[in-house]
Amino acid sequence: MTEPTTLPAPVLDWARSSLGSLTVDDASGNYSPRVWEVTRHDGGDRFFVKLAASPASFTRATFAYRHAVPRLGAGRAPGLAATSAQHLALIVTAVPGTALSRLQLSGSALETAYRKAGALLALLHQAGKLTRSTHQQASTSLRRAADRAEQYVEAAGEHLSAEQRKLVMVRAAELRLLDRLPLGYIHGNAEADQWMWSGPRQPMAFTGFGYARFAAVVEDFVLMACGAWAEEPRLRSAFLAGYGRRLSDEEKHALACLTALHAATFSLRGAARGQTAAAERGRRLLDRLMREAHA
């Protein structure tokens, strides 16, 4: 399905009814094809209009902005200005800073950024109230992740080697045996693309809550384990220092399993979409994980 490159007219009309007269800027180059930056003529306030990818994503993001994000404190995440279930659209306030992934930080500055990200993610993990239903949702999240990975691998064909498929299946089976992991409210897409950095003296802010949900909190570490933590282990130490605790042995095991599952699904999705570089990156990660398992 082709993404819209301009803000659809019905959504623009709704945004204007919510905010007043607006100037619209295409933010797709900096964010995604489903995000537009708008500026209110009266006062010059900046907002972002976001179209959710699905009703489920809309529901997750709306819940996050209404119930969890306020617990993070002022300036640490966008605020919710308006929602439209009809259009699957949200209007959120702009937060200062630049996505960390777009900056060239290094050394102690980068470690400081990861330490701040760890502290903020710890707040988010405690932000949502675990009720009976959300506890059930969180406690079964790893089992659902294992089920999804197995479905991908069964449909993999020649995209994965026999040894790669075996690794994923073994890790999925192991993941189902882990049932005493910390639960909480996770961001679901915790990586530098979503971290807004304004300098060491300013608060870090998180954006992009379309995948936020109740789950085992270790699931929020997978993208970092596949990327920054693997490339620069000192960033793992800095992040966990900010987070306030080390991972338990059971969480480390779960993270190893989840990393293998993510690598496989990332590779297969890349192949399905014709994204050769993404598919190869996933296979390389699987090869590294196999080497580590045999070491």
What pLDDT band is residue 2 in, cutting at 50, 70 and 90? very low
Which pLDDT score, from 0 to 100, does residue 27 have? 59
- Report the alpha-carbon distance of residue 53 to residue 57 in Å, rounded: 6
Could you say which architecture CATH assigns to the domain 98-294?
Answer: Alpha-Beta Complex (3.90)
- Report the alpha-carbon distance of residue 86 to residue 4 in Å, rounded: 17
What pLDDT band is residue 5 in, cutting at 50, 70 and 90? low
pLDDT digits (tens, 9 = 90+) for 51-67: 998 999 999 999 999 99
pTM over 0.85: yes
Domain ranges of the chain: 9-93, 98-294
pLDDT digits (tens, 9 = 90+) for 234-259: 999 999 999 999 999 999 999 999 99
pLDDT digits (tens, 9 = 90+) for 92-149: 999 999 999 999 999 999 999 999 999 999 999 999 888 999 999 999 999 999 998 8
Q: What is the CATH number that goes with domain 9-93?
A: 3.30.200
| Sequence-ordered list of residues with C-beta below 8 angstroms from that of 26, at least 6 positions apart, any chain | 5, 6, 36, 37
pLDDT at 286 over 50: yes
pLDDT digits (tens, 9 = 90+) for 179-209: 889 999 999 999 999 999 999 999 999 999 9
